[in-house]
Structure 1
């Protein structure tokens, strides 16, 4: 097999802004230009996707950056077809960098005669020639077991911890981290432990999907600055309702830190009009113009951590080292000062 000299990054149409930012960070770390592979990812008039790679990729270590966000099916097909094009061009290894892994919410059969779509997507990716997955905050950790190839799942918690320590410097003693449901307690507890604060839970009951019937706060939030932590915010109904309940229970103010800002339908309008002082999301999903314009939505970058993770995979070094806040201090130097 030919020697692998430099990592090569390719992007689809889902989030080219993040892909370019990752390439810039990789160039800075390597000391050489790591540009995006010259290719075209286009559609025929009937919507079929066509991919053409204009560079020689034989024997190269290829990384495709493509979140499978809205439109999920189009972006997923782009990823699969790009992988097939690279495999047929004799790339040495193909790693799919999927900042937001779509279909992750369909990870089990919740009732009779329903699919496990996350497993189906995993099978499709492997069949297309993808040999490794790099993603962030999988909705369900067990999805890693759906693959028979390595899956590296990065966490936003260390990045959020840096941001919280910066934004709430001198006020951390008044902060309480909130899990918006019982299922997210582990994620919220991890962040609370990192920044050394207390944890509370909002217990919710649903009458039917998409509607929340009742919410109860478990823990003391009176006079506290509450930070709701979750992996996905879709229509923001649950999130805004949880913020209202916390304020009714005596919270001083409410902020939210969400990894993947899906923000579909009425989400942005709800957030803008809600009692939340701020919603912080990452750029795993490319922000729409309404999201960018919203006065109480802020975006933190993930390019530094993804660029370092890609280089670690390419070098054959530890990816799990990026789970530690201290490891991210130098990576995010210039974004957040050392405390």
Structure 2
């Protein structure tokens, strides 16, 4: 990671920094706040006493937002402090199903729809008084419904248009399922951010005997949709890549999808090599485990799964079984979405922390400085690999 001390941030901030993590994102928001407080207290910025930097150095940038609900399930948004003239960063995890509310006496788990409505309530509570609003939504709401097939809704595009109509200027998300959805709001800021650096770092920190060359390792895309991610990782690490494509039965619909008949492989030899399967999300996990099983049948050695979002919608039992059978060695996902305590205890699981990266993005944007160099982790990954091959410790730089 590029160090905060290496950033030259002497431009006047857009406004006094305010961080509003919704309840769904409180733990990650607290970690981001801790980095921001630490950096700005230790900063030797010569203009900190200038009136234009009022509120620059504080003990906390967190602003509490509440979204209480009535017994009928209706709700409202409220803020604990004034946000007039502030540069605000709202954080929301639309996949946090652990939160509940009472609905006519029943306990209801919050869905992505509930979280998105709460986000809009908080923006409404801001009431147009902020200098600028940026939404950090790691898992892009309704991003799996990003294109129309026959008579269908375009939920993600509509959601983006709703946000900018309410005054949001920038939207930051991670590994959008299809980045072309930004065409719905072409005149506003939209960034889809990779987690490649943190994934590679997590693997190198936890597995000591990797041979990072094309003779011993292969990058795998589980389907044609993930090709760009696999190509990028293969190029960065100097590896070859392969791809599976799904043969589907288009005469049937099962839970809204055409069932997969088989996975066909395209690529170089697999036998005796370690594999990195790269995907944007693990939903049920069926697809990635089927691909891992196919790789094992073809003679693959260890299999490492990289996925930005670990949703595990069908639980962890099938992953436990795959690990016990030696089909998978490690699973790496980020803390951008809710992680169950059970997942964090699994021996095969590696948690990749994204809080420092998010803090660096916020700190840079608050100064109205380009984040282009932060969005391409190529040089930072190369530095990691050199340290790893030289058997030097990989520090949290």
1:277-312 per-position Cα deviation (integer Å, ceiling 9, x unaligned):
111000110112332233322210011111111111
The residue aligned with 2:50 is none
2:282 to 227, 233, 240: 233
Paired position in structure 2 for 1:150: 189
Which residue of the partner structure matches residue 180 of structure 1? Answer: 222
* Partner of residue 120, structure 2: 80
Q: TM-score, normalised by structure 2?
A: 0.78
Partner-residue secondary structure (3-state), 2:76: strand
Q: How far, CA to CA, are the matches of 1:281 and 1:338 in structure 2?
A: 18
- The DSSP-based 3-state class of the residue aligned with 1:135 is strand
Which residue pairs with 1:203 in the alignment? 245
From 328, 335, 352, the counterpart of 1:283? 335
Task: Tell me by how many angstroms 1:318 deviates.
Answer: 1.8
Give the TM-score of the pair, scaled to structure 1: 0.91
Shift of residue 194, structure 1, vs aligned partner: 1.3
The residue that corresponds to 2:105 in the other structure is none
- Equivalent of 2:352 in 290, 300, 303: 300
Q: In structure 2, the residue corresponding to 1:241 is in which secondary structure?
A: helix
Deviation, 1:210, is 6.8
For 1:47 and 1:295, locate their aligned partners in 2 and report how far apart those are by CA, in whole Å.
Answer: 39
Q: List alignment gaps of at least 5 residues for structure 1.
A: none
Distance 1:182 1:232 in 2: 14
Secondary structure of 2:68's aligned partner: strand
1:10 maps onto 2:20 in alignment: yes
Cα distance between partner residues in 1 of 2:136 and 2:287: 29
Greater mean alpha carbon deviation, residues 40-49 or residues 135-144: 40-49
Q: Name the residue aligned to 1:252.
A: 301
CA distance in 1 between partners of 2:141 and 2:236 (Å): 28
Gaps of 5+ in 2: 1-12, 42-56, 98-110, 385-392
RMSD between aligned alpha carbons? 2.2
Q: Deviations over 1:54-102 (max 9, x none)?
A: 11110000100112224201111111111111134x1111110111112
- Contact 2:94–2:112 (CA under 8 A) maintained in structure 1: yes
Question: Is the counterpart of residue 324 in structure 1 residue 377 in structure 2?
Answer: yes
Maintained 8 Å contact 2:139/2:336: yes
Quick one: higher RCO (CA 8 Å, sep 6+), 1 or 2? 2
CA pair 87-240 structure 1, distance change in 2 beyond 3 A: same
* Alpha-carbon distance between aligned partners in 1 of 2:29 and 2:394, rounded to the nearest angstrom: 22
Asked if 2 retains the 8 angstrom alpha-carbon contact of 1:87 and 1:94, the reply is no
Judge conservation of contact 1:189–1:199 (CA < 8 Å) in 2: yes
Distance 1:223 1:200 in 2: 15
The equivalent residue for 1:309 is 361
Give the counterpart of 1:100 among 121, 128, 139. 139
Contact 2:222–2:243 at 8 Å: present in 1 too? yes
**2:157 maps to what in 1?**
119
In structure 2, the residue corresponding to 1:194 is in which secondary structure?
A: helix
**C-alpha distance in 2 between matches for 1:146 and 1:167:** 41
- Name the SS of the counterpart of 2:188 in structure 1: coil
Aligned residues of 1:161 and 1:194 also touching (Cα < 8 A): no
Over alpha carbons, which structure has the higher Rg? Answer: 2
Q: CA–CA distance in 1 between the matches of 2:301 and 2:380? A: 32
Q: Which residue of 2 aligns with 1:337?
A: 395
Find the counterpart in structure 2 of residue 128 from structure 1: 166
1:28 aligns with 2:38: yes
| Count of matched residue pairs | 330
* Contact residue 321 and residue 327 of structure 1 kept, 8 A: no
Alpha-carbon deviations, 1:120-174, whole Å to 9, x = none?
Answer: 1111211222121111111101012222311122111222233334445552132
In 1, Cα distance between equivalents of 2:221 and 2:14 = 44
1:216 equivalent to 2:264? Answer yes
Q: Distance in 2 between matches of 1:284 and 1:213?
A: 32
